[in-house]
Chain A
């Protein structure tokens, strides 16, 4: 069994983003998806700080303090980009105008609950940013994460034990082992890595997975 690298997960997510989509990539791992968007398709990246049409990182020396992404890294804008104020930006997010957002996660439950903003540890400084707005506002919420924690525990769980970001908001989960859809009937494994059986994936994941049609992950 060969796990996907972070870039391979990003490339797999990118394949499911269609031409014309308005997309928000969360901070951290999801930012990598931007490097794998197909060159030939017009896809519009939204940044919560008031940008549609975000482009790649600038060349060294070309950074502009007023052109940053949600993670506060320098970016560029593409021809046709637009700037708008924060309430408009979050109206796009909360009003169901974004086709897809890609977020990281600590845990996702079998019913699509998401926990990604706080580990709830005492003394930890909480920070939520736009995660709760994206979770409830985007038409589809894709989660991109490692399948297991560093301790080897599944991040896909019966019920989230970390503080929730949103309830029943996740559409699809992309991990280093599998692509799993959240449906009204439960989790459905669509693809998983070569060299692993559905039984093994289910055992590692620790929750029931249906699999009407297995495909090798590419």
Chain B
């Protein structure tokens, strides 16, 4: 019997190697898998490349992974926030590499990786310094920039509900990068508030089918809220 459910967050992040590229879901704190990140910090892998919309904020989740100096490089669209002090300090000290990616390119490059697409032309960024050195093409009179896929070794994702097959539904805007990241990583690891029986999730409403998911661990939302507070 297939069972992707693991017993603990420690088991969920077991085996993540030094030098891995890890996608982390979330938009700010919304949808951020903080408990999986805490487990990754404890697990000890280093020299990581992280893909996230932001670069951590406050004193939880991704910010703590950066603070622990485990991240070599980050790909994100919006590192600067009022409380992104851990990233800011590392960046100013030259201790972290930043690849700044327009947010739509970030999402689409991740989607492209998951869909087996070798790259795409987009109007976003044409003529700006974020397109410097990239291939461009004029299509129907408009300038386009060639962007390549972003693949990952692992994805850490937060969803609301899963079954043992790894089928997922999310919670409100906490969905954000979860579905595309799940498709783009070699091993997708998901924390969920609730685990339900196979068949309990409406097939019409499943957002991420289990084919994209490797490991599921239950972390109740009550525990999550307590951790943030």
Contacts and interface: CB of A to CB of B under 8 A. Distances in A.
Interface of A: 47-51, 64-68, 72, 77, 83-87, 89-91, 93-94, 123, 125-133, 136-137, 163-167
Given A68-B27, A132-B124, 18 more contacts: A66-B171, A66-B173, A67-B173, A83-B173, A83-B175, A85-B207, A86-B27, A125-B79, A125-B91, A126-B100, A127-B77, A127-B80, A128-B101, A129-B77, A132-B102, A133-B104, A164-B129, A166-B126
Interface of B: 27-31, 53, 77-81, 84, 87-88, 91-92, 98, 100-108, 110-111, 122-130, 143, 170-180, 207, 225, 228
B30 A85 contact: no
Contacts of A91: 108
B74 to A, nearest CB: 12
> Lowest 6 CB-CB distances: which A-B pairs, in order?
A133-B104, A90-B104, A66-B174, A66-B172, A127-B80, A86-B107
Contact of A94 (B110, B124, B225): B124
A46 to B, nearest CB: 12
For B110, B173, B174, the residue with the greatest tally of chain A CB atoms inside 10 Å of its CB is B173
Contacts of A83: 170, 172-173, 175
5 contacts: A50-B175, A67-B173, A77-B172, A86-B27, A163-B129
Contacts of A130: 77, 102-104
Contact of B110 (A87, A93, A123, A126): A87
A136 B126 contact: yes
Nearest to A86: B107
Interface centre among A77, A87, A94, A126 (most CB of B within 10 A): A87
